Amino acid sequence: MEIRKYTYDIRGDERGNLVALECMKEIPFDIKRVYYITDTQTDVVRGHHAHKNLKQILICVHGSCKIGLDNGKEKAEVLLDKINEGLYIESDMWRTMYDFSEGAVLLVLASELYDEADYIRNYDEFINYVNNK
């Protein structure tokens, strides 16, 4: 499976780090929604769903976590542990988020507003959906 990771410039100086992200430059879609995940326990697995249309960029802006990807044919695991690394997740991709380090903050930039109808939350349904496309 092709993993699309972006590495962003860190505009840091002696005062600290700054990473700037602009639509259609660093982010390959118009951002309609931003959310972030914090205080997730190390033994918790989040996600367990796919999206029919939504595209996302995930950046672990503090600490680290792992992202499990599954397109119905292949699986992959991606470690996110850099403030300037974005993982692009296409639609039709089953994802899990796990192994959150203490204090990890996962920032998610999304191409669409929240829409429960866009979710596939059952794995068998996901496999049927991608196989019938």
Indicate which residues carry an active-site annotation: 49
Q: Should residue 47 be labelled a site residue for ligand TYD when binding is judged by CB under 6 A? A: yes
**Closer CB to ligand TYD, residue 19 or residue 37?**
37
Q: Should residue 36 be labelled a site residue for ligand TYD when binding is judged by CB under 6 A? A: no
Looking only at residues 49 through 78 of this chain, which bind ligand TYD when binding is defined by CB under 6 A? none
Q: How far is the CB of 47 from ligand TYD (least distance, A)?
A: 5
SS3 124: helix
| Token pair 């002696």: residue | 14
What does 78-125 look like in DSSP terms, one character per residue?
EEE--TTEEEEE-SS-EEEEE-PPTT-EEEEEESS---GGGEE--HHH
> Are 110 and 32 within 8 A, CB to CB?
yes
Q: Should residue 130 be labelled a site residue for ligand TYD when binding is judged by CB under 6 A? A: no
Q: Which stretch binds ligand TYD (CB under 6 A): 11-19, 30-38, 51-59, 81-89?
A: 30-38
Binding residues for ligand TYD (CB under 6 A): 33, 35, 37, 46-47, 114
